[in-house]
Structure 1
Amino acid sequence: MEADAVARASRPGTTGSLTAQLRELGLPAGATVIVHSSLSRLGWVAGGAQALVLALLAAVGPEGTLVMPAHSRNLTEPSDWGDPPVPQAWWEIIRAETPPFDPRTTPTGHMGATVECFRAFPGVLRSNHPTVSFAALGPLAARITQGHELADGLGEGSPLARLYDADAWVLLLGVGHDNNTSLHLAEYRADAPKTYHRQGSPVLVDGRREWVTYRELDDDTSLFDPLARDFAEITGGEVTGTVGAGAARLMRQRALVDFAARWLTQRAANRA
């Protein structure tokens, strides 16, 4: 993968060059922004994930708040696992013995090097959700991460809704809208049929480890790319550019979520 990154770039990315590109893209100082990224798709960066995090922090400045999803989807119901599945004889062992979620020490899972680097930065706060937590640093970090509800973890009781309240930005670096967690909030808000499943995770309850169950929405990320294409074409609300050697997309989260909720509602009505 590092060889691919080198081949993708005409010159090394640096904290300074990435910061300049983020500003040229239109990310304003003082912004509250949720970032989804693939470091390898930005070409080779001197300093890797640390350099990208520093560039993002420099771009928004001390008055801005940087947010990233810090999910740990390995802390889920093992009977649902399929990539790979585990033997049924293991399920109860996993439920009984997996360490409980701890915002300070639980690693992210399949989120990439940048998120794992960012969550360890001094002062970063992380919401207390075992599978879909968010990490944040900046003046609004506490407001965004506090009170993350267990059920419907990407809905109204989540940091995504607090980002909406703050009129935040969404920044996609080297990834598409299928990685855009804000669209899950739109799924909850859409007037469309919804189905749910029962999730389970190990958590601390009054200092004691417990396996708890709760509700999650059945999502459909296959709709995210066509939905987002319509958002860009109809509203003109998505700015595109280059950061490092990768594609970058920047938009206001509130405008995107409102459009997406209407789009999903209309789609459901057309199919009724």
Structure 2
Amino acid sequence: MNSQELSAALRELGLQRGDIVLLHSSFVSLGEFEGGPEAVVEAFLQVLGPKGTLLAPVFGDLGILTNVVRQHPKAVISTAPVGTLAAIGAKAKEICEDHWKAETAHGEGTPFLKIADLGGYICLLGVDQDRNTTLHSVEALLRLPYLGTTAPKFTAPNGKRIAKVWKYYPGPHRDFIGLDHYFREAGIMTKQRIGNAEVRLLKARDMIDLCLEIGQSDPAFALCDNPNCEACVRQRADLFAHRIKTQESFRLSASSRLAGRYVPEIIDNLKANGLSAVELDFLRGRSAVILPVDKLTGVVAEFAAAGISVSALRAPAIPADIDRMLAAIRDAGISRIILPFPYFEDTLNKITGTDLAVSFVNTGQATVDIVRMITNIRKKLSCSCSFTFNPKNFVLANENPFLYSWRVGRFIKTTGQLDILDASWDTVSTGLAGGNAEIKELVSILRCHNFNGWFTLGGGGSYPGSLSDAVRAFTELLDTI
């Protein structure tokens, strides 16, 4: 293939004189090319003419054609150490200047957005959407919460050596390849074979606008769904955490039993799912209540060092040495405990006066009995007292948790936590909204009240799956309310 044939093919693809095009490329994809990489660049410049502009990314080792553009005697290099572009042509200076002043490497005020605003194109020559840097512009415009920062030192145009923080900087992995079908289906991309290379051409503005629309409805649009891709798992977790923090009034935790057996495993699983709080119920298959104070303190410290708070310690039963348990919890730095309702007056008296926040959970009692117990307890307790509503245990009591228990008990006044789990009438654990616990209705009504207490995944029972399964099911539940 020669430059004349390439020029003709580029015109057939849709490029014209005066156009602006950002080229991502693989020279070897063309096959044998007369005149080498320099002839390829000259073919582009010939098609674009003196009023057109050719750009290429030069922020790394991105192929021989990018080097030819960068080393061209008329090349202008954008003034930023990240997302750097080289440009040749009439708009080269206008597009590249002041890149270093932009807040981000790829967003507003950068060459990538200027190309779009000027009606420019993106050309992928022998490469796929994985090399399409302008897709990072969409992420920056959306200010996606999984994006980070970078602060390289560089020499500014005034000659001063400075360090600047660039916001909304992309991480290591994306599934940009998976976006290709959107562009085909929307009719905004032309594609044809040139030499041995598959070549794609898109209007930058059309692509950005389409991806903004997709990303606004699905912030994970650019991430892969491979559960073994650590980068995208972490970034999806960041999206989930941001959603709960900014869009919901409730606080979300997961039971330690659901998250794993050992503290390091629990921490990893919580972080992988975007959770920053854990309810201690079981560790290593045993109730956390039996831990001596020094070990319990160490567990709490290990979670805290990882940025994980303890939402509560849940006791499956009230131990005989309740004084020791309460002291150990307090000394370990845990401020809240979940207990079954006490049946004996002396046990209740021991709880009275504690400086812990106490929440009592139903364990199979009928609603009318729970109402009586709450009324009695609130008369005696000087501590902060609330109710942990466990819908699975109301199913165990043969009650409809929402249609009967919630309404008859008027638990909106006392509930401080909703355990997020489900079960069928025969008490078999099910996925969320797959049983008779009416969990969807309960979550919905609490959201209507802007509930600011705790939702705890797997709280007070077993969940038929992993923490990831529970988070995915809970997300789907929220999406359908």
Q: Determine if the TM-score, normalized by the shorter chain, exceeds 0.5.
A: yes
Residue 58 of structure 1 is aligned with which of 33, 46, 50? 46
Segment of structure 1 superposing worse, 185-194 or 201-210? 201-210
Q: Which residue of 1 aligns with 2:22?
A: 34
Q: Which residue of 2 aligns with 1:140?
A: 91
Flag structure 1 segments of 5+ consecutive residues without an equivalent. Answer: 1-12, 72-108
Q: Which residue of 2 aligns with 1:3?
A: none
Of all paired residues, the percent bearing the same amino acid is: 31
Structure 1 moving runs of 4+ over 4 Å: 269-272
From the superposition, tell whether residues 46 and 200 of structure 1 become closer, same or farther in structure 2 (CA, over 3 Å).
same
Letter in structure 2 aligned against 1:22: L
Q: Which residue of 1 aligns with 2:170?
A: 219
Q: Which residue of 2 aligns with 1:179?
A: 131
Q: Could you list the per-position Cα deviations for residues 15-50 of structure 1 after superposition, in whole angstroms to 9, with x for gaps in the alignment?
A: 111111111111122111111101011112122210
1:112 Cα deviation from its structure 2 partner:
0.7
- Contact 2:17 2:52 (C-alpha < 8 Å) held by counterparts: yes
The structure whose Rg is larger is 2
Q: Could you list the per-position Cα deviations for residues 194-222 of structure 1 after superposition, in whole angstroms to 9, with x for gaps in the alignment?
A: 43223323325743445x24124243652
Segment of structure 1 superposing worse, 127-136 or 185-194? 185-194
Q: Which residue of 2 aligns with 1:15?
A: 3
- CA–CA separation in structure 2 for the residues paired with 1:175 and 1:64: 23
1:132 Cα deviation from its structure 2 partner:
2.0
- Contact 1:35 1:170 (C-alpha < 8 Å) held by counterparts: yes
Say whether residues 1:265 and 2:216 are aligned partners.
Answer: yes
1:191 Cα deviation from its structure 2 partner:
6.3
Matched residue SS, 2:24: strand
- CA–CA separation in structure 2 for the residues paired with 1:198 and 1:171: 27
Matched residue SS, 1:249: strand
Residue 248 of structure 1 is aligned with which of 181, 190, 199? 199
Output aligned runs, 1:147-226, within 5 Å: 147-148=98-99, 149=101, 151-190=103-142, 192-204=144-156, 206-210=158-162, 212-219=163-170, 222-226=174-178
- CA–CA separation in structure 2 for the residues paired with 1:57 and 1:126: 17
- CA–CA separation in structure 2 for the residues paired with 1:64 and 1:202: 30
- CA–CA separation in structure 2 for the residues paired with 1:191 and 1:70: 24
The alignment of Structure 1 onto Structure 2 pairs a total of residues equal to 221
1:164 Cα deviation from its structure 2 partner:
1.4
Larger relative contact order, structure 1 or 2 (CA cutoff 8 Å, min sep 6): 1
- CA–CA separation in structure 2 for the residues paired with 1:29 and 1:115: 21
Q: Could you list the per-position Cα deviations for residues 108-148 of structure 1 after superposition, in whole angstroms to 9, with x for gaps in the alignment?
A: x3111111111121221111112321111111111101110
- Contact 1:132 1:153 (C-alpha < 8 Å) held by counterparts: yes
Flag structure 2 segments of 5+ consecutive residues without an equivalent. Answer: 222-239, 244-481
Letter in structure 1 aligned against 2:131: N
Q: Which residue of 1 aligns with 2:34?
A: 46
Letter in structure 1 aligned against 2:71: A
Letter in structure 2 aligned against 1:25: L
- CA–CA separation in structure 1 for the residues paired with 2:156 and 2:96: 17
From the superposition, tell whether residues 124 and 194 of structure 1 become closer, same or farther in structure 2 (CA, over 3 Å).
same
Q: Which residue of 2 aligns with 1:118?
A: 69
Q: Could you list the per-position Cα deviations for residues 49-95 of structure 1 after superposition, in whole angstroms to 9, with x for gaps in the alignment?
A: 10110010011112211111111xxxxxxxxxxxxxxxxxxxxxxxx
Question: What's the TM-score, normalizing by structure 1?
Answer: 0.75
- Contact 1:194 1:218 (C-alpha < 8 Å) held by counterparts: no
- Contact 1:227 1:263 (C-alpha < 8 Å) held by counterparts: no
- Contact 1:192 1:264 (C-alpha < 8 Å) held by counterparts: no
Letter in structure 1 aligned against 2:201: L
- CA–CA separation in structure 1 for the residues paired with 2:51 and 2:158: 35
Q: Which residue of 2 aligns with 1:231?
A: 183
- Contact 1:25 1:242 (C-alpha < 8 Å) held by counterparts: no
Question: What's the TM-score, normalizing by structure 2?
Answer: 0.43
Give the aligned CA root-mean-square deviation in angstroms: 2.1
Q: Could you list the per-position Cα deviations for residues 161-218 of structure 1 after superposition, in whole angstroms to 9, with x for gaps in the alignment?
A: 11111011111100011111111111112264343223323325743445x2412424
Letter in structure 2 aligned against 1:199: A
Say whether residues 1:67 and 2:55 are aligned partners.
Answer: yes
- CA–CA separation in structure 1 for the residues paired with 2:191 and 2:143: 30
Matched residue SS, 1:193: coil
Letter in structure 2 aligned against 1:187: E
From the superposition, tell whether residues 208 and 192 of structure 1 become closer, same or farther in structure 2 (CA, over 3 Å).
closer
- Contact 2:155 2:161 (C-alpha < 8 Å) held by counterparts: yes
